[in-house]
């Protein structure tokens, strides 16, 4: 029999991704979202082959086009915008004007999915809500992403990732117990995770549509999505106590923690099972501890867990990271060296796997971006281009999908129904790029 | 109805307020609605790794018949228990993910059990496993073999470094855990306080939620749902590979792009945020409030409601406020804290909402929307009437597990929503049912 790793290497071969079929090819997604939460849901669908058309206001654009870390743009664009919005069609349309609404209603007739993340009820007020679009197209799947959902007394409260973290209680869980040292989750994970749950809901709705032919409305509250991932409510209902913060240890496993090695590196160690506990005791040279805490639940009691945490900290503090890696491999306990941004970017295995992609874009050049989170052997997710300047695909969409002529488009431009950018970085093309020669931006039609 | 109320309603709903409200209300309860995966059988053989249980829970919530297969002594995940708290030998996380599942005992180390597993797999649509890469294959029940007997099978494997590549091979004996996933995928390195706060506060810090395992679980379910869609169209199954060491980095993306564009690691910045300010939480009379007022006009609004407009000149643009100079940002933090300390959280929330309503109505639309929200603990979140109205928490009562509350009903869908029908997890409690139904 062929070696397993040879077999899987061929099965998942990252160099063959572009040749493989796309699951959602032929599906059209109208993406009325901004910042991260909604756009992420649409991005995932695009990754698997759907045609995602992102709508933005001309001359204004998505707020997150300016969301740059420490104020630094990269080639006149935001890198975060690139990995949240890649592979989409950028269409800028002034929703306030009746002509723009006509265009949207026309597109909705043969669209499959709509995603929006405005305040509750806003798209309905604009005449492009589920109640309106589903009349024209009963097959439409409509995902509304709001912080508190579409129904309930707090539905009109505005929110971002931070507020969802605050309202769900997640914000109070990361940090050191018995101090006021606690921190929000970084990198807007309160947007990214609910956004992916939104994509999951749409994919389930697509599965359902296959059976019934009917679309449906999805009300996803960012805060509820975060509530789904914490055991604290259940813990509280059983014990009557708060689980609270636990610093650098996982109270569900003992020993577990992030520790500092003698060479100044940080490593994570955990005993998920009794076997792993035994392995750690042996690796640290304290086999007597194995018998001391034979019962898992006994071991997890705070005072006992503390003893094991301290013993592990002492052992790790006297070893080098390199030595510990070897011990983990030999004895078989859960272990990893803490990796920061730089390590992740330069990890060979992630590039080999395709979870970090060195992408060369026609407009922006080389950028490292995250690959799909799950690798599918037959229909892998993929990237087609990075994000584009505001309204980059206007001509392409108006001509190819809607059949407008050049004259009609000029008229729309004159009436400011569609438009592009001003001189701000984030919405304009990079300075070195000659946009006048770009065949998509100046799409001539077939 | 006052003119003011009418105006607000029109702004929010167009013309059909009642219709929309009724429609949304009907969506809150999943009862009587269709289940999207009611024709799908999922075999969950995840072992000592709750990512798999989370993924199979999501399938079960969407209606699949999920059969959790364990050895006779039970999956060690049952004993993953914060502070050792358990009900009848089952820890809280396992109870939380014991949603709508069937429990069947099979010892896969034993060959005759593997034959039974094959029989089940021939009828199943999805398999979820978390063994070390190649383990199932060496037992003759990996994707390679099962896809021969069931070409439509979706096979989801979750492991620390995936099923292919050198690192997967090199670390084959190193098992997965949530904290290790957080460490390997860039979460821990980006949480924690600033350098000058001293040890251990400036160390990398584990997120207080299972960021690694829950990302894995959601991503595995998402990838599996995509593969199911393809399988129901073409009859072709496939393998879905989730690497725990990728969880955070590939979900949020920042570690990957920032490491490249900055050519170094970002420092840890504690409570602050790299892109927006204010975007964090501040003390007030009765606890903490989260404040997000990042755009310049939002920030102006915040200065106005806190009555410190005189400071506007120094902090006018977002690039004045971003925390790249530590002394500056601490000065700004203190400036806001001095004011928020004068009020209660309810007062601050009301001040922000009143201001935002006024500013949204102004024809200039330049007043901004400073957002303030009280920082909750999970226990207080449960008391919020908003979630009661949305039925976000459900109480369950099981003969073996007793009474407890779960966050359920987390996606509202008009046609085929997910739901929790029962929570129960006795080892082998459905052995007869499974044998009668699938193995006769």
SS3 letters across A289-306: HHHHCCCHHHHHCHHHHH
* Tens digits of residue pLDDT in B376-402: 999 999 999 999 999 999 999 999 999
Backbone φ, ψ for residue B50 (5° rounding): -75, -10
* Tens digits of residue pLDDT in A101-125: 999 999 999 999 999 999 998 898 8
Q: Is residue A391 part of a domain?
A: yes
Where are the alpha helices (H) located in B34-174, listed in sequence order? 50-61, 92-96, 111-123, 135-138, 143-149, 166-170
Partner-chain contact A83 B204, CB within 8 Å: no
Same domain, A79 and A220: yes
Same domain, A115 and A34: yes
CATH number at residue B74: 3.40.50.10540
Same domain, A382 and A330: no
- Rounded Cα gap, residues A237 and A221, in angstroms: 23
Same domain, A306 and A419: no
Residue window 370-389, chain A: list those with CB within 8 Å of chain B: 370-379
Name chain A contacts of B264, Cβ cutoff 8 Å.
341-342
Which of B167, B170, B175 is closest, CB to CB, to A334? Answer: B175
Residue of chain B whose alpha carbon sits nearest to that of A143: B413
DSSP 8-state class, residue A397: I
Instruction: For chain B, say whether A186 makes contact (Cβ under 8 Å).
Output: yes
pLDDT level of residue A96 (50, 70, 90 thresholds): confident
What is the average pLDDT score of chain A? 94
Instruction: For chain B, say whether A218 makes contact (Cβ under 8 Å).
Output: yes
Partner-chain contact A300 B271, CB within 8 Å: no
DSSP 8-state class, residue B172: T
pLDDT on residue B10 = 46
Q: Is residue A82 part of a domain?
A: yes
Same domain, B306 and B404: no
Strands A141-146 and B238-243: unpaired
Its domain, for residue B22, covers 1-26
Partner-chain contact A339 B167, CB within 8 Å: no
pLDDT on residue B325 = 85
B19 pLDDT above the threshold of 90 = no
Name the percent of chain A lying above pLDDT 70.
100
Partner-chain contact A152 B255, CB within 8 Å: no
Taking Cα atoms as reference points, which of A207, A26, A27, A354 lies closest to residue B58?
Answer: A207
- Rounded Cα gap, residues A179 and A243, in angstroms: 15
pLDDT on residue B15 = 47
Partner-chain contact A234 B270, CB within 8 Å: no
pLDDT on residue B365 = 64
Instruction: For chain A, say whether B90 makes contact (Cβ under 8 Å).
Output: no
Q: Is residue A278 part of a domain?
A: yes
Q: Is residue A44 part of a domain?
A: yes
Same domain, A422 and A303: no
The DSSP element (H or E) to which B291 belongs, if any, is strand B287-292
Tokens at B249, concatenated: 């980095």
B412's CB contacts (< 8 A; 6+ apart) are: A149, A150, A151, A218, A219, A220, A221, B27, B28, B390
Same domain, B414 and B326: no
Instruction: For chain A, say whether B169 makes contact (Cβ under 8 Å).
Output: yes
Residue of chain B whose alpha carbon sits nearest to that of A232: B378
* Tens digits of residue pLDDT in A250-299: 999 999 999 999 999 999 999 999 999 999 999 999 999 999 999 999 99
Name chain A contacts of B190, Cβ cutoff 8 Å.
186-187, 340-341
Which of B13, B167, B324 is closest, CB to CB, to A70? Answer: B324
Instruction: For chain A, say whether B21 makes contact (Cβ under 8 Å).
Output: yes
- Rounded Cα gap, residues A299 and A307, in angstroms: 9
Name chain B contacts of A71, Cβ cutoff 8 Å.
318-319, 322, 324
Q: CA of B108 to nearest chain A CA: how many angstroms apart?
A: 18
Instruction: For chain A, say whether B74 makes contact (Cβ under 8 Å).
Output: no
Among A316, A337, A358, where does a domain finish?
Answer: A337
The burial class, CB within 10 Å (0-12 / 13-18 / 19+), for A311 is middle
Q: Is residue B31 part of a domain?
A: no
Same domain, A208 and A79: yes
Instruction: For chain B, say whether A360 makes contact (Cβ under 8 Å).
Output: no
Residue window 397-436, chain A: list those with CB within 8 Å of chain B: none
Q: Is residue B423 part of a domain?
A: yes
Q: Is residue B415 part of a domain?
A: yes
CATH number at residue B283: 3.30.1540.10
pLDDT on residue A106 = 92
Q: DSSP readout, A103-165?
A: HHHHHHHT-SEEEE-SSTTHHHHHT-SHHHHHHH-TT-EEEEEESS-SSSTTTT----HHHHH
The burial class, CB within 10 Å (0-12 / 13-18 / 19+), for A102 is exposed
Same domain, B67 and B208: yes
pLDDT on residue B193 = 94
Q: Number of structural domains, chain B?
A: 3
Instruction: For chain B, say whether A213 makes contact (Cβ under 8 Å).
Output: no
Q: Number of structural domains, chain A?
A: 2
Instruction: For chain B, say whether A334 makes contact (Cβ under 8 Å).
Output: yes
The burial class, CB within 10 Å (0-12 / 13-18 / 19+), for A442 is exposed
Same domain, A220 and A105: yes
Q: Is residue B271 part of a domain?
A: no
Same domain, B78 and B188: yes
Is the overall model pTM greater than 0.90, yes or no?
Answer: yes
Same domain, A287 and A430: no
Q: Is residue A28 part of a domain?
A: yes
Residue window 236-255, chain A: list those with CB within 8 Å of chain B: 236-239, 242-243, 245-253
* Tens digits of residue pLDDT in A358-378: 999 999 999 999 999 999 999
* Tens digits of residue pLDDT in A142-162: 999 999 999 999 988 888 999
Its domain, for residue A270, covers 256-260+266-337
B320 pLDDT above the threshold of 90 = no
* Tens digits of residue pLDDT in A150-199: 999 998 888 899 999 999 999 999 999 988 899 999 999 999 999 999 99
Give B372's strand partners.
B291
Same domain, B285 and B173: no
Cβ contacts below 8 Å, chain A against chain B, sum to 608
Query: Does the N-terminal peptide bond of residue A255 adopt cis geometry, omega within 30 degrees of 0?
Result: yes
Mean predicted confidence (pLDDT) in B189-210: 94
Q: Is residue A58 part of a domain?
A: yes
Q: CA of B173 to nearest chain A CA: how many angstroms apart?
A: 5
How many CA within 13 A on the CB side of residue B412?
26
Same domain, A293 and A422: no
Backbone φ, ψ for residue A41 (5° rounding): -60, -45
Same domain, B98 and B209: yes
Query: Does the N-terminal peptide bond of residue B278 adopt cis geometry, omega within 30 degrees of 0?
Result: yes
Q: CA of A403 to nearest chain B CA: how many angstroms apart?
A: 30
Cβ-contact B160, B244 below 8 angstroms: yes
- Rounded Cα gap, residues A36 and A287, in angstroms: 49
Partner-chain contact B91 A268, CB within 8 Å: no
């Amino acid at each position: 029999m062929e070696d397993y790793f040879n077999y899987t290497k061929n099965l998942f071969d990252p160099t063959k991704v572009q040749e493989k079929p796309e699951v959602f090819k032929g599906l059209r997604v109208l993406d009325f979202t901004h910042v991260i939460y909604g756009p992420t849901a649409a991005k995932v669908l695009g990754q698997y082959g759907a045609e995602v058309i992102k709508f933005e206001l001309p001359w204004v654009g998505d707020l997150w086009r300016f969301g740059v870390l420490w104020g630094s743009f990269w080639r006149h664009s935001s890198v975060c915008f690139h990995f949240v919005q890649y592979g989409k069609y950028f269409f800028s349309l002034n929703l306030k004007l009746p002509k723009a609404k006509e265009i949207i209603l026309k597109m909705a007739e043969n669209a499959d999915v709509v995603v929006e993340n405005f305040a509750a009820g806003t798209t309905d007020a604009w005449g492009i809500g589920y109640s309106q679009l589903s009349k024209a197209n009963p097959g439409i799947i409509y995902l509304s992403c709001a912080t508190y959902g579409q129904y309930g007394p707090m539905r009109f409260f505005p929110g971002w990732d931070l507020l969802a973290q605050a309202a769900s209680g997640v914000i109070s869980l990361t940090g050191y117990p018995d101090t006021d040292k606690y921190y929000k989750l970084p990198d807007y994970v309160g947007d990214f995770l609910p956004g992916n749950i939104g994509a999951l809901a749409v994919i389930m709705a697509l599965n359902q549509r296959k059976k019934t032919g009917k679309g449906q409305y999805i009300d996803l509250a960012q805060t509820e999505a975060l509530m789904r991932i914490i055991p604290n409510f259940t813990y509280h209902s059983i014990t009557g106590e708060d689980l609270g913060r636990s610093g650098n240890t996982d109270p569900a496993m003992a020993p577990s923690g992030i520790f500092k090695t003698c060479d100044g590196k940080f490593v994570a160690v955990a005993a998920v099972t009794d076997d792993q506990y035994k392995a750690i005791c042996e690796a640290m040279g304290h086999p007597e501890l194995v018998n001391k805490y034979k019962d898992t639940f006994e071991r997890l009691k705070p005072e006992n867990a503390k003893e094991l945490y301290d013993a592990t900290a002492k052992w790790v503090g006297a070893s080098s990271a390199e030595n510990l890696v070897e011990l983990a491999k030999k004895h078989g306990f859960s272990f990893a060296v803490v990796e920061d941004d730089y390590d992740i970017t330069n990890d060979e295995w992630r590039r080999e796997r395709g979870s970090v992609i060195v992408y060369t874009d026609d407009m922006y050049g080389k950028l490292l971006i995250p690959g799909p989170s799950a690798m599918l052997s037959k229909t892998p997710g993929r990237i087609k281009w990075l994000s584009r300047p505001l309204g980059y695909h206007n001509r392409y969409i108006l001509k190819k999908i809607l059949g407008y002529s050049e004259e009609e488009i000029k008229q729309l431009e004159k009436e400011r129904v569609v438009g592009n950018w001003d001189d701000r970085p984030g919405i304009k093309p990079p300075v070195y790029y000659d946009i006048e020669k770009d065949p998509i931006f100046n799409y001539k039609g077939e | 109805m006052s003119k003011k109320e009418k105006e607000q309603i029109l702004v929010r709903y167009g013309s059909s307020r009642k219709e929309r409200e009724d429609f949304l209300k009907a969506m809150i309860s999943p009862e009587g609605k269709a289940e999207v995966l009611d024709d799908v059988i999922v075999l969950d053989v995840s072992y000592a790794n709750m990512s798999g249980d989370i993924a199979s829970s999501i399938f079960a919530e969407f209606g699949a018949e999920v059969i959790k297969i364990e050895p006779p002594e039970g999956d060690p995940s049952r004993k993953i228990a914060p502070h050792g708290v358990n009900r009848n030998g089952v820890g809280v996380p396992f109870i939380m993910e014991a949603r709508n599942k069937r429990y069947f005992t099979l010892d896969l180390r034993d060959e005759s059990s593997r034959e039974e597993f094959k029989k089940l797999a021939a009828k199943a649509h999805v398999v979820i496993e978390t063994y070390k890469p190649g383990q199932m294959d060496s037992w003759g029940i990996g994707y390679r073999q099962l896809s021969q007997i069931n070409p439509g099978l979706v096979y989801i494997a979750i492991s620390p470094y995936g099923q292919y590549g050198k690192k997967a091979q090199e670390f084959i004996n190193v098992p997965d855990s949530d904290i290790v996933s957080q460490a390997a995928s860039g979460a821990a390195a980006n949480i924690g306080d600033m350098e000058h706060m001293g040890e251990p506060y400036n160390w990398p810090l584990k997120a207080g939620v299972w960021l690694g395992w829950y990302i894995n679980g959601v991503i595995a379910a998402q990838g599996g749902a995509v593969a199911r869609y393809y399988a129901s169209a073409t009859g072709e199954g496939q393998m879905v590979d989730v690497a725990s060491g990728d969880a955070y980095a590939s979900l949020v993306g920042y570690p990957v792009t920032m490491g490249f564009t900055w050519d170094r690691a970002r420092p840890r910045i504690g409570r602050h945020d790299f892109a927006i300010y204010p975007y964090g939480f501040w003390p007030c009379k009765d606890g903490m409030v989260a404040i997000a007022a990042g755009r310049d006009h939002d920030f102006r609004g915040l200065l106005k409601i806190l009555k410190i407009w005189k400071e506007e000149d120094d902090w006018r643009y977002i690039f004045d406020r971003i925390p790249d100079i530590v002394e500056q940002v601490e000065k700004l933090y203190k400036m806001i804290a001095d004011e928020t300390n004068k009020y209660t959280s309810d007062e601050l929330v009301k001040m922000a909402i009143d201001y935002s309503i006024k500013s949204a109505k102004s024809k200039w639309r330049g007043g901004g929307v400073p957002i303030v929200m009280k920082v909750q603990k999970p226990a207080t979140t449960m008391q919020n009437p908003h979630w009661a109205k949305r039925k976000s928490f459900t109480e369950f009562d099981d003969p073996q597990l007793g009474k407890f509350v779960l966050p359920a009903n987390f996606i509202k869908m008009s046609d085929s929503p997910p739901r929790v029908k029962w929570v129960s997890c006795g080892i082998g409690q459905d052995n007869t049912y499974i044998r009668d139904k699938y193995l006769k």
